[in-house]
Chains A and B, each alone.
Chain A
Amino acid sequence: MNKQIKGGTHQSIEHESAHKHVSGRAEYLDDVIEPAGTLHAYLGLSTCANGKIKSMDLDAVRKAPGVVDVLTKDDIPGENDVSPTGLHDEPIFARGEVHFYGQPLFAVVAKTRDQARRAAQLAKVEYISEAPLLDVKSAKANGAELVTKPLKLKRGDAVSALENAPMRIKGEMEIGGQDHFYLEGHIAMAIPGEDDEVTVFSSTQHPTEIQHMVGHALGVSANAVNVQVRRMGGGFGGKETQGSLFAAVAAIAAKKHGAAVKIRPDRDDDMVATGKRHDFVASYDVGFDEAGKIHAIDAEFAARCGFSADLSGPVTDRALFHADNCYFIPNVELRSQPLKTNTVSNTAFRGFGGPQGMLGGERMIEEIAYALGKDPLEIRRTNFYGGEGKNLTPYHQVVDDSIIERIVDELEASADYKERRDAALEFNKTSRVLKRGISLTPVKFGISFTATWYNQAGALVHVYSDGTIQLNHGGTEMGQGLYTKVAQVVADEFQVDISTIKVTATRTDKVPNTSATAASSGTDLNGMAAADAAQKIKQRLIDFAVKEYDVAPEKVRFDNNQVIVGEQAFSFADFVKTAYMNRVQLSATGFYKTPDIHWDRDAGKGTPFYYFAYGAAVSEVVIDTLTGEYFVERVDVLHDVGRSINEAIDKGQVEGAFVQGMGWLTTEELWWSKDGQLKTHAPSTYKIPVASDRPRQFNVNLVNWSENKKRTIRRSKAVGEPPFMLAISVLEALSMAVASVADYKTCPKLDSPATPERILMAVQRLKGE
């Protein structure tokens, strides 16, 4: 057996920037040395949630120290819009009407950021205000518009199956939103170029969209705009579309003043002025029988979308796509309601509506379990997708790769679920104040962009004549380890140590027409594209070897930093040098598009997902029934990533997603005042988990026998989003602990986030019933 290269696929190597992260030498955009004469922009925001601008006096702003310019809608050379959907519903600066508290009205350009920020506070704006519609319920009650076309998924006859079902429950669940709280906030810097050209540095998951939006705002074509991002300090979906505003403002100011312009909102403005996870109200009607088998579901998922469409269409679609989770629903009708509200336009966030849909679906399972007095796990098993006749989703895709039953069986055993559930039930009998809950919940998550054309990627690989390799692709690095995993693929293709490879910043002039790094697709798409590029170069090297050394193609091998040609072995560097001297092209682009997927939204039918990723978690919690306080005692996870390209990185994604999901369902609460002001706009008021919130015992395992049935890169599976939903087990465990106060006879209907307040109120409600 030959020696292994260092850093090939299926090795747990460290993140490619780890040594720079820990020493403070990893450069984020705000760390890059600014060009001489860089100016700084800062946004002025609306203090009215719904109304018309009566007057806007910016005199004091203009006269403030250091101020160079104040930009309003009249300073935009192109379109005053950054709508990613082409609906023209998202102005850069308000067009006379304001639609949410915190909407950008103007931008100050000053010599320093501090000067710009201070000056922005000096605007005198008068509004003619109207009452804002702030949440789903008031929007529905007041017949609010929809921001985009809703979706309906239908299979079978839900109406008559509900009528005929032996048992039927109607209910409603309120599901809270979530701020991304990436540690690095939004930021952009634009450097003007010749003619109409501009280079934009942006903390973005979607450089190509930034390119387009900046082009539209400047009124220039795409080929004049170059966008670059080396890394983000976290993205989580929050930088899929939301960076456009900042990039456009920086670019407009840079072109106008012929100077580099940087814009970075402070944390509060970032949280107020950029979108979040959608809050939902799920209204359900579920019919089932005494065995817990679901006969039919009719459900509506209404979302607070904010004032514009942004990605609310695909987000609410994905909620419907995941309401079934792992369960076959014989008769089903699911409807989305993407409601327009006077709040910031909500956007992508890890799971992209899927978590909200799945949570609503799992609530129905809980309802059935409490109605029948059974362990919810039993209801789950009864309804898992199975073979023929039990494998069709509400969107008519066949589930043919389900491994959920085996995962659940293995996890149930390894986590001692039954014993621990019995112990919790026993504990609750005698413990007066503290109560325990335990829950096992599964996850099935569809992988692919439902916007089918997004499922493509490009890569650019250069092999230099010294044998070193430069790798570039359309994916962006936000901490998820994409650059590392794709480099591992390329190392593996060439059979060279990963230290041979340098990954360079994602740039629209290196790889064009890229898709957002989103939908967990980064490695699936870019790994394949990079492998394609590497294979092209390899083929040229093989062709050269065949000709030069007169051997059969199968006698040429790449192996452990060497190229083996017949009986001869060359170091990779030497062989490349020889190839170069013989005029072999050592650079190639690669391309990939996901096969076999299609989606007809109008019909609500198709195969939108290439495959599904699976996982399950058991969570055990303890609550204090006097105050509603709680903590998570233990979590066991078994999650499917196919054949992992890097187990350490994948495990990091699973753990991180779980804790982030737990935050969404527990402590992270968004709170608006009646006039539409977000009052939880900084870490002092918005509480993401800290170290002591993580499960006291956290056993995370990857499914070591799973291999993607589909021909993905090295048979791996996407990992970014699916494990986020494993945290639903925490909410349901909390729910069980609450249920104990009424002897488990009533479904607690615990809404999210389950703050101590919601827990206590649910306890008191159940005690009172």
Chain B
Amino acid sequence: MTTRHTLKFWLNDQLIEFDRLPVTQTLLDYLRLTQVLRGTKEGCAEGDCGACTVLVGRLEGDQLKYESVNACIRFVGSLDGCHVVTIEHLKGKNGALHPIQQAMVTHHGSQCGFCTPGFVMSLYAMWMSELEPDVATIERYLQGNLCRCTGYEPIIKAALDIGEHGKLHEDYLIAEQDQMVQNLSALQNDQMLAIESEAEKLFAPATLDQFASIYAQNPEATIVAGATDVGLWVTKFMRDISPVIFTSRLKDFRKIEVSDTAITVDGGASYTDMLAAIDEHLPQLSQFWRRIGGEQVRNMGTVGGNIANGSPIGDTPPPLIALGATITLRKGDERRTLELEKYFITYGKQDRAAGEIVEQIHIPLPDEDQLFACYKISKRRDEDISALCGAFSAKIDDGRISDIRIAFGGMAGTPKRASHVEAALKGAPWSERSIADAKQLFEQDFEPLSDWRASATYRMAAAQNLLERFYLEHADENAISLDDLHQAATLEALS
């Protein structure tokens, strides 16, 4: 295995090289303090406000794909081989504003203006893949951007109107894309990247085998995939995270394979990577998936990371446990497979040995007659962390519940199944009465906490009622959910 010691990426029109680099160097601080590119703002330093939104372009095969990310929690160490585009790089024809910028001006989309560069960048990412977005699509791309002044209405109107101000094929990035593909191609190779100083070690392996091997050699290392959690360890808690292994270069660690019966996902696949497979094969999770984080977080964050870090309020474990998912853990060349629910031992403790990576997640697809739903309850609809999250999977035979799996996040120190409720329902009639009786048993399954997201009382009441919702929505074909109404009203809005 050959190793190189220089990290290279493109920043706007400039090739950047590092042979020394602090592992905790964030892209935002690099832009603002080193490059003095100060159009990108710091609003929260935790990936929640979007004021620091920039685009990161990376090669997928020979395609250059740009995604919005939060520069505040993106480490420079993860940028090897990428193209970073900041607000300063946007331009229109002959020195004019870029079409997105002009649309924002025309519709009075800025007031104080501090969040505005971030909004422009998020809309830029949208425009590259959605030329005629509807309001729901615009709102999805803007979930991760907070504006405190405008109330968003003029920004949505601007987003609907970008096409009036310019054509995508005339866009500078698009027009120059072939050149940038060449530039980035020249930076790709299969060498391990390692930057070591006396105090710190930074690794960015190029292949999964390198990753497994370097992690087995450095089992104390912090793995950084999307950095949507580790980023905060640094920006909020000022933790030392060296040695660090960045997974960003691993092209063979973000595959998504779909068979007739299951989706198998690599640990490094982002939420966004998975969206198409979810929409096609697990449409019950389509809306839910779009409520994980905001767009930037979904572009960065990985399902593997969501599981690996063991949080009791991660969004993906409840539905995956309800579906009976398993995970493959790998250390060096050794692999083992585990039921996902068994991975979570207790709060802060998971069944993952030092040096072991979450290599793959296997998600069994529900049968055609299997009822499945997942509900996330949070104070705010989008870009919020679950107060609780409940997933339900059931099979009904001859009016009786032949199989049921119920998993919750936010109700205990780990994502956990409601085994008493399940036991009571298994074999019981699929009826309102059974549901009403069984829902009392949540009190035997869970002792939730009170915190700033919700009280224990609310968590319990809502969990019980979610079972009722699951029943009502599936027992009545005409049942309309709040989400259905919201979606319909969104699509109607401004049309």
Binding site for B on A (CB under 8 A): 14-15, 17-28, 30-31, 33, 114, 117-118, 121, 180-185, 231-236, 266-268, 432-434, 478-481, 622-624, 626-631, 633, 648-649, 651-652, 655-660, 667, 669, 671, 679-680, 682-685, 687-694, 696-698, 700, 755-757, 760-761, 764
Contacts and interface: CB of A to CB of B under 8 A. Distances in A.
A185 B41 CA distance: 11
A480 B45 CA distance: 25
26 contacts: A15-B110, A15-B111, A21-B104, A21-B113, A21-B117, A22-B97, A22-B101, A23-B87, A26-B113, A28-B41, A114-B29, A181-B148, A184-B43, A234-B112, A267-B46, A433-B472, A479-B110, A481-B111, A624-B469, A631-B482, A669-B452, A671-B452, A694-B156, A698-B151, A698-B493, A756-B379
A735 B439 CA distance: 27
Interface stretch (B32-40, B74-82, B266-274, B332-340): B32-40
A233 B113 contact: yes
B90 interface: yes
B489 interface: yes
B148 A667 contact: no
Interface in B138-175: 138-139, 142-143, 145-156
Contact of B49 (A30, A648, A683): A683
Contacts of A18: 104-105, 108, 110, 113
B482 A629 contact: yes
A624 B485 CA distance: 11
A434 B148 contact: no
Contact of B116 (A21, A629, A649, A660): A21
Nearest to B158: A22
A512 to B, nearest CB: 26
A227 B113 CA distance: 22
Interface of B: 29, 32, 36, 38-46, 48-49, 51, 86-88, 90, 97-98, 100-102, 104-106, 108-117, 120, 138-139, 142-143, 145-156, 235-236, 238, 294, 375, 377-385, 387, 451-455, 457-458, 461-462, 465-466, 468-469, 472, 479-482, 485-486, 489-490, 492-493
B458 A21 contact: no
Chain B at the A interface: SS class: loop
A683 B147 CA distance: 12
A267 B45 contact: yes
Interface SS of A by simple majority = loop
Given A479-B149, A683-B46, A683-B146, A627 B469 contact: yes
B112 A655 contact: no
Contacts of A19: 97, 101, 105
Contacts of B40: 24
A628 B462 contact: yes
A40 B139 CA distance: 38
B455 A757 contact: yes
Contact of B146 (A688, A692, A764): A688
B108 A648 contact: yes
A474 to B, nearest CB: 19
Contact of A434 (B98, B116, B383, B482): B482
Contacts of B235: 266
A264 B454 CA distance: 31
Contacts of A236: 148
Contacts of A760: 458, 461-462, 465
A685 to B, nearest CB: 6
B111 A656 contact: yes
B452 A679 contact: yes
A685 B479 CA distance: 32
Contacts of A692: 139, 143, 381-382, 486, 490
Contacts of A623: 482
Given A14-B108, A683-B44, A693-B381, A23 B97 contact: yes
A167 B218 CA distance: 76
B382 A690 contact: yes
A16 B146 CA distance: 22
Given A683-B46, A688-B148, 14 more contacts: A14-B106, A15-B110, A18-B110, A23-B97, A24-B120, A33-B36, A117-B238, A626-B468, A627-B469, A630-B482, A667-B380, A682-B44, A683-B48, A684-B385
